Homo-oligomer: A and B are copies of this chain.
Amino acid sequence: MKPNNILNFIGFDASYEESKIVLFGAPYDGTTSFRPGTRFAPNVMRSDSYGLETYSPYMDLDLEDYKLSDMGDLEFPFGNTNRVMEAIEETTKEILDDKKIPLMIGGEHLVTYPVVKAVFESHPNLHIIHFDAHADLRTDYLGESLSHASVIRRCHDLVGDQKIFQFGIRSGTKEEFEFAKKHLYMEKFNVETVCQIVDSLKDVPVYITIDLDVLDPSIFSGTGTPEPGGITFKELQHAISLLRTLYIVGGDVVELAPQYDTTGVSTATACKVLRELALAIIS
């Protein structure tokens, strides 16, 4: 009986070389304004994932039937946002260079930006599907252009108009909602139009970013800024299942701050979302 000290998400136990999807954690929450703690998400998810079945009755698919690997967490220079961004971007590039699909666990939403930057470099026609409670479209947040509240705006700077599709948005400044009207697709409050958007995105490379606070805080209270009025797990699960037909080139789940929900429900939910997303990408 061999002891071990490797901590991977359940079902992600293939070697890097043989895997198609590579999972890694980006435990950074340096620009969080209200309640930090997302830095703890990846490892808490790995630990609690062992309460999860690898089989999804929703998709009738099993993680065990695929080759998936988990590289663990990136090690960040604490408190230096620019170097964190560089580290994530570099790792993503390596994964892409090896013809694998990067799948990231945040951290705050800002960590999505360097992944998108690397993926965009490989896939210049990149489209982004974005689930979130918040528009994240500010030009800056208190003067900082690289912020959790402006991360999708930064992605828009990269990919340009009408390439971003937002769902479930229910909080932001008036300016953000006005920006959205002009420059991208936004479904407010709900995720009912995912189906038709998916139909329009056949044959283009798509990145999926899931800010878990798109979920209602009744099922996902473990996050920095809970926003009542979110979608249910069933709605998110259904939306993810619709993505299966897309050409997905990368993805992430972000903004779990596990310590705020001592019941463990938020972490269990995050784990299930990650399982469904991985199955949607791989199948």
Contacts and interface: CB of A to CB of B under 8 A. Distances in A.
A73 B57 CA distance: 31
Interface residues of A, number: 78
Contact of A1 (B25, B91, B233): B91
Contacts of A171: 53, 57
B219 A228 contact: yes
Contact of A75 (B4, B172, B265): B4
A24 interface: yes
B36 A72 contact: no
Copies in the complex: 6
A90 B2 CA distance: 10
A-side interface mostly: loop
Contacts of A1: 74-75, 87, 90-91
Interface in A170-219: 170-174, 177, 188-189, 216-219
B228 A4 contact: no
A19 interface: no
A188 B5 contact: no
A229 interface: yes
A228 B233 CA distance: 6
26 contacts: A1-B75, A1-B91, A2-B75, A3-B25, A3-B71, A3-B75, A4-B73, A5-B8, A5-B46, A5-B70, A6-B6, A57-B177, A57-B188, A79-B144, A80-B143, A216-B232, A217-B269, A218-B218, A219-B228, A221-B263, A221-B264, A226-B265, A227-B272, A228-B233, A228-B268, A229-B233
